């Protein structure tokens, strides 16, 4: 990166923050310092920030809640845009009813707001940590549903084409993935439009509560990236990790959760490298015992000491 630091400082002004530890901005509570962090509070701020960084060839990552990413202990030699664009508008009188959400909006907030209005279809998202943008990027899902089944359109910004509206079909969703995640082309998700169906507040809220309780009983709380691996076809990553004897296994301060083996939890003192060591251990054992290559659901950000 050749752009002088003072140019970044001048462009972002008081919003520019240096020497920020990503452990404070990720659900895993690990990660070193980054070149700079900038909160973006409106879509216009997000558009301007992304356009500037692209024009200056500065690497950057847009994050919402900081779930589903593992940031290196060495940090990230780029800029973190902290997405605080969280406006939500529910159009309950349309047919079908629709939900507009900016990419920094919290998924669980959307689920609760739609249920309160007697709309169904988003209850699965009620206990999914993360933002709309991250959920679309990784086709987040739970309880037999996912983003691909609810999304109507998504507004994205690219350096070449500017703002583009894509349909769910054009996003080419697959299991825990989208065209944006697979192709890793420069793009920023601005907002999305979801569909819902009419129900009753009681029915929607009951389903929301049932899903929340199931999640509470089967998945750990606390510091974690969320599901570590994608489920292989016809099987479950958690079952495979348990089958090779790693459920509950702890190395230093990171541990495969005793409640659900596909979650790596941090006792508060773990490093990102400890997370990665457990990731590689699970991949090695599952590969050797079952001939299955566990594929990461989370993304690694920054440079790791990795022999994989």
Q: Which residues contact 180 (CB under 8 A, 6 or more apart)?
A: 136, 137, 156, 171, 187, 189
Beta strands in the chain (DSSP E): 20-21, 33-40, 60-63, 69-71, 76-83, 88-91, 98-102, 119-120, 141-142, 145-146, 151-158, 162-167, 188-195, 197-198, 223-227, 250-251, 254-256, 263-266, 299-301
Catalytic-labelled residue, pool 29, 112, 176, 285: 176
Closest listed residue to residue 228, CA positions, set 263, 199, 271: 263
Which position among 67, 199, 227, 257 bears the catalytic label?
Answer: 227
Q: Strand, helix or coil at 223?
A: strand
299 catalytic per annotation: no
Known active-site residue 201: no
2 to 123, 133, 148, 295: CA distances (angstroms): 46, 29, 39, 34
Q: Please say whether the dihedral angle defined by the alpha carbons of residues 48, 50, 53 and 54, taken in this order, is positive or negative.
A: negative
Q: Is 297 among the residues known to form the active site?
A: yes
Catalytic residue among 102, 123, 242, 297: 297
Q: What CA–CA distance (Å, rounded) separates 189 from 178?
A: 12
Which residues carry out catalysis?
A: 176, 227, 297
């Amino acid at each position: 990166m050749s752009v002088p630091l003072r140019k970044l400082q001048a462009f972002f002004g008081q919003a520019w923050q240096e020497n920020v530890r990503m452990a404070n901005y990720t659900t895993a509570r690990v990660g070193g310092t980054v070149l700079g962090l900038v909160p973006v509070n409106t879509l216009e701020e997000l558009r301007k920030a992304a356009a500037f960084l692209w024009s200056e060839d500065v690497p950057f990552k847009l994050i919402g809640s900081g779930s589903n990413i593992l940031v290196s202990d060495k940090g990230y030699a780029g800029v973190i845009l902290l997405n605080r664009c969280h406006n939500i508008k529910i159009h309950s009188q349309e047919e079908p009813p629709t939900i507009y959400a900016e990419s920094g909006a919290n998924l669980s907030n959307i689920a609760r707001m739609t249920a309160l209005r007697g709309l169904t279809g988003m209850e699965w998202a009620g206990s999914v940590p993360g933002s709309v943008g991250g959920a679309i990027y990784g086709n987040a899902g739970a309880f037999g549903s996912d983003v691909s089944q609810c999304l109507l359109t998504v507004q994205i910004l690219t350096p070449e084409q500017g703002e583009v509206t894509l349909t769910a079909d054009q996003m080419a969703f697959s299991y825990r993935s989208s065209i944006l995640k697979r192709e890793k082309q420069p793009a920023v998700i601005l907002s999305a439009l979801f569909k819902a169906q009419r129900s009753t507040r009681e029915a929607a809220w009951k389903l929301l509560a049932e899903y929340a309780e199931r999640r509470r009983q089967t998945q750990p709380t606390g510091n974690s990236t969320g599901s570590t691996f994608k489920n292989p076809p016809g099987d479950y990553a958690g079952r495979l990790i348990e089958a090779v004897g790693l459920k509950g296994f702890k190395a230093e301060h990171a541990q495969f959760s005793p409640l659900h083996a596909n979650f790596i939890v941090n006792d508060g003192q773990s490093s990102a490298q400890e997370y990665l060591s457990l990731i590689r251990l699970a991949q090695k054992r599952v590969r050797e015992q079952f001939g299955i290559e566990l594929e990461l659901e989370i993304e690694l950000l920054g440079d790791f000491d990795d022999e994989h």
